[in-house]
Amino acid sequence: MKNQKTSLRSRRSALLLAGGSLLAGVLPAGALAAPPAASRRVRLVVRTEGKSLPIDQKIQQHLAARGYAVTLYSQYDPVDAARDTDLVIISSTVRSRDLLGAYRNVPVPLLTWESDLLDDLGMCGKRDGVDFGRDDKNRYVWLVNAPHPMAAGLPAGVVDVYEKQAPMNWGKPGLGATVIATLYGQPEKAAIFGYEKGATMDYESLAPARRVMVFLDNETFPNLSAAGLKLFDAAVDWAIESR
């Protein structure tokens, strides 16, 4: 009987150890289980009748491959539906004069690369060419905030983000913004920046959720270098992680 009890104890201990090892392999000590990316819903707002739609579809496919559930929405679809998503992305392919500040107060994280919307979203001032704009030919950004998650682990300094020269959108954000990168040689023009929820944007408005700007243009996504793609992915991940 004593030998049977000892054997049972041994088997029970082995099972507990095996279970503990399995859990340790899945979840680091002290960590909380993160929701799967597939549970994160992304609303990609585009101009569905525009010639650059295939590029927006490439972005959709890229994010889907990373595990996000991405739906293309026309810029003319109802804005209220955005409340049921985890992230709104507004492509620069939209017709900005028709969209304006429609998404300004939506309490959902938002990312865009349409510089003409930055003032309407309260993320920058209103002067075209001064507070926001587009650089027609560029290839490099200056990474100024390497420790931030949006820097994608890249070292500070010059980063080649395009395979070849192409347009870059930029903005001059308010004091509440965190600037990650600027156009190379133009430190007043932010290529990547973000606002935390509640941060003061321009016009003293508060960010209703995280707000992020990246440097892309209508058809430059396929032109991203490996480093540029890392920065894009990091911006998406940071924007959505607060949900």
Note the pLDDT of residue 81. Answer: 86
The secondary structure of residue 25, as a DSSP letter, is H
Q: pTM for the full model?
A: 0.84
Note the pLDDT of residue 37. Answer: 52
Note the pLDDT of residue 203. Answer: 79
The chain-wide mean pLDDT, for the chain, equals 87
Note the pLDDT of residue 243. Answer: 67
% of the chain at pLDDT higher than 70: 84
Buried b / exposed e over 129-140, threshold 16 CB at 10 Å, is eebbbbbeebbb
Report how far residue 189's alpha carbon sits from residue 214's, in angstroms, rounded to the nearest whole number. Answer: 12
For residue 14, how far is the Cα from the chain centroid? Answer: 45
Listed residue (214, 209, 219, 210) closest to 232, CA to CA? 214
Note the pLDDT of residue 232. Answer: 98
Note the pLDDT of residue 39. Answer: 77
CATH architecture for segment(s) 37-240: 3-Layer(aba) Sandwich (3.40)
